[in-house]
Amino acid sequence: MERQLRTRIENALWGLFIGDALAMPVHWYYDRENIRRDFNGAITGFEAPRHPHPESFMVGMGYRPDVENARAMGRPYDILHDHVRFYDTSYSSLQIDRAEREAQHGNSVPSMNERFHYHHGLAKGENTLGAHLVRVLLRSIANAGEYHPDAFLEAFVHHLATPGLNSDPYTEIYVRHWFENYSRGLPLHACAENQRDVWSIGSHGGMIRPMVLSLFFPESVYQATGMAFEHQVLTHRSENVASALSVSVPLLHNLAAGAEPGPALEAHARDVHLPVVTGDGLFAAYRDHHGPGNIPDEQMWNLHTNLRSEAFDLRGMVDRIPEEEAVMGVFATACYPEHGLPLSLYLAARHRTEVEASLLANANAGGDNVHRGMVLGLLVGAAQDEIASELKAGLHDRDSIQNDIDAALSTLS
């Protein structure tokens, strides 16, 4: 493989881990005033999460595996381990009351002193579960010498079902639904939940590993996109994720191949269509229904799949709309790629694909900045011939991340 291409693939991976760790302490801060208050004006580097998280509604999230059936089949079902106290499960009781409603999402939350951060206990520069599952993918590729879906799924189960391997309390809804289906006896390749049944399946988390996997097929964007879709459906059966990947994978490959970033971003952005309801309008709908989970299924589907007819004019958006207005008024910072992909493209273009500037802007935008930051990190990292050493050094697990990257990339010729 050409040296520059390998370097850019490696830098895309570094961008992912950096984007995740920078955003981690302010993940799911929808009110940017809370970021400014808790972090002396803004996130300017790696930080540890604070307690309490003023907007956290992690406490009481549901996980309902079929324990009896899982035991009969010899399948593990406990993926929460020491973090089970934060969840309402079929094998434990929630001890923390949720009686208040707070912030833009409108969900019920506990009292302030029990609003535990989603990543409670993680250290400065440490990565979240989403980034660790990227490392599970990288190790599965390295161990097998190439990508095998079954090898990844077995490693996925092992990582989540083994006590002590996951230090992050926040387990995304797709993981919980995947293991609920697994506990009911579905085969590994069929455990992914469907966006049409659970709206949150259509989230940024479904983009991350497929984009990473695509980098291991650098000679053909055609094949890389197909492999990304195959990997996506192992954990996310989502039309919105697939649509976002159809843009992000070719763009990622163009950047890694050395395309001029500005024109590449603008060209691929023309394949994106913004939602009809976005920005403040989306959050108003959430608040009006006391949380998105209370919005009727058909209305929720329409909120996330009704798109504008005109193509996304990235250059016009960057030229006309200031960042503060774009983040809060034009885009939504929730976890959905129909909002997050155009926001990521906007931040990358506005900050000229500079890694630190783009990823700090993403962190300070709030919302689902962790998963959005991994997508953005892949893109801006792929545009670089070098990543600043201090950004790598700030990662809690820098050396072991380097080992995983090297081992996986050694499988490329």
Which position has the token pair 């600043």?
388
* Distance separating alpha carbons of residues 338 and 78, to the nearest angstrom: 32
Could you report the per-residue pLDDT of 225-277, keeping only the tens digit for each? Answer: 999 999 999 999 999 999 999 999 999 999 999 999 999 999 999 999 999 98
The pLDDT assigned to 101 comes to 47
Higher pLDDT, 287 or 235: 235
**How far apart are the two ends of the chain, measured CA to CA in Å?**
6
The pLDDT assigned to 97 comes to 57
Q: Judging by beta carbons within 10 Å of its beta carbon (0-12, 13-18, 19+), is residue 161 exposed, middle or buried?
A: middle
The pLDDT assigned to 108 comes to 60
Could you report the per-residue pLDDT of 89-141, keeping only the tens digit for each? Answer: 999 877 665 555 455 455 566 677 888 999 999 999 999 999 999 999 999 99
* Distance separating alpha carbons of residues 53 and 352, to the nearest angstrom: 32
* Per-residue pLDDT at 346 exceeds 50: yes
Identity at 287, one-letter amino acid code: R
Identity at 279, one-letter amino acid code: G
Q: Which ranges constitute the DSSP H helices of 351-388?
A: 355-365, 369-382
* Distance separating alpha carbons of residues 343 and 339, to the nearest angstrom: 6
Q: Are 112 and 382 in contact (CB under 8 A)?
A: no
Q: Is 338 left (phi over 0), alpha (psi -120 to 50) or beta?
A: alpha
Q: Any idea what the Cα angle at residue 235 is, between residues 233 and 236, rounded to 5°?
A: 60
Q: Is the dihedral of CA 384, 390, 395, 400 positive or negative?
A: positive
Domain ranges of the chain: 3-409
Could you report the per-residue pLDDT of 28-53, keeping only the tens digit for each? Answer: 999 999 999 999 999 999 999 999 99
**pTM of this prediction?**
0.95
Instruction: Tell me the CATH number of domain 3-409, given options 1.10.4080.10, 3.40.228.10, 1.10.1740.10, 1.10.760.10.
Output: 1.10.4080.10
* Per-residue pLDDT at 389 exceeds 70: yes
How much is the average pLDDT of 163-179? Answer: 97
pLDDT band at 283 (very low <50, low <70, confident <90, very high): confident
CA 387 to chain centre: 21
